[in-house]
Each structure stands twice: as structure tokens, then as C-alpha cells.
Amino acid sequence: MKKETLIAVIFGIALGGAVALFILIKGKDFELTKNKIISPKDAGRQEAIDQPVRVDFQVLEIQSPLDGAITDKKSISITGKVQKGSLLVIQSPVGDEVFVADKNDFQFDFPVALGENVIKIVAYPQDKTIRPQEKDLKIYYLDSEL
């Protein structure tokens, strides 16, 4: 193949690509201007003003242990995430723990009794307008099972 032919083919492909891209972008703009907005223009904006979205808010998460887990130890380590400054209340038939989370992660040791241990973890955010969050864990301390 001659050099001139090769250059012509490359230019042809590049030009074709550019035209296709132009049509694609302009076509989308045209579609957007053509479609009518059904809801009032400011509806979404007003809603956003009424209910500010707290993208930075850390909801209560328990990372370990898993619900229903079996342990062969008298104490377990509970780890998770919560909004900094929340009051955490953890209660089970054999233990109580109350503390304020000084960062978004928490970790503490919690006692368990032989058999089933129902543990309720409740986080009361510092911002009192936000509802408390709850998590329930069932941990089984069964020494002959592991």
C-alpha cells in the first residue's frame, strides 16, 4: 500500500470519528431542549431546602461480629461505624455500656454469657433532630461448638 493511501485512510477514519462524536453530543442536547418538564421547575430545589441531605452523616453499622455468630470466649469485640459525637447505648442481659463516640469508628469489648446473648446497640446522634438508630445482635457463647 502506498504511503499516500495510508495517510488518506487514517485521515478518513479520524474525520468520521469526529463527525460521529459531534452528532452524538448535539443529539443529546437537542433531546433535552425538546422534552417538557412535567414537575414545577423549583420543586426539586424546594425539597432540597426543606430536607437537607446529610451526605456526611455516618449511619450506625456493625462490622463485627456477625449476627448469629458462635463464640467460645467470655467476651467479644464489637466494631462498627457511627456518627462522631453520638451517644452509644449497648445492652444485653449480662452487660451495659454507655459512651460517646469520639470518632466515626468504634471498638469495645463486651461480656457474653453461656447460651444466647441478645445485644441491642442504639446510637443517639448529637443532632437531636436525627432519629436514633438501632441494631440487634444475637451472639451464641457455646464453648463446645468451636
Partner 1 sequence: MKTKIVNYLLVLLAVLILVSPSFAQTASPSASPTGEAEDSAIEQLKEKVANKVTEIRRKNNKAVAGTVVTKNAGNLRIKTNEDVEYEIKLDDALTKYFQILGVKKQEIEVEDIEVGDYAIVTGVQADNSITANTIFIDERFLVMTGKISQVDKENFTLTVVTTAKEQIDLDIESSTKQSMVNIKTNEAEVSGFTKIKEGDTIHFVVSRPLNSKEGSYSARKVLIIPQEYFLK
3-state SS assignment for residue 116: strand
Residue 2 DSSP code: -
For partner 1, give the closer residue by CB, 4 or 145: 145
Position among 79, 91, 111, 130 found at the interface with partner 1 (CB under 8 A): 91
Query: How many whole angstroms separate alpha carbon 54 and alpha carbon 123?
Result: 17
For partner 1, give the closer residue by CB, 109 or 136: 136
Residue 44 sits in the site that holds partner 1 (CB under 8 A): no
Position among 10, 70, 73, 77 found at the interface with partner 1 (CB under 8 A): 70
Nearest-10 Cα torsion for 126, 130, 131, 135 = -60
Size of the residue set binding partner 1 (CB under 8 A): 31
87-113: buried (b, 16+ CB within 10 Å) or exposed (e) per residue? ebbbebeeeebeeebeeeebeeebebe
Residue 114 sits in the site that holds partner 1 (CB under 8 A): yes
Residues that bind partner 1 (CB under 8 A): 66, 68-70, 87, 89, 91-93, 96, 98-100, 113-116, 118-120, 122, 124, 128, 134, 136, 138, 140, 142, 144-146
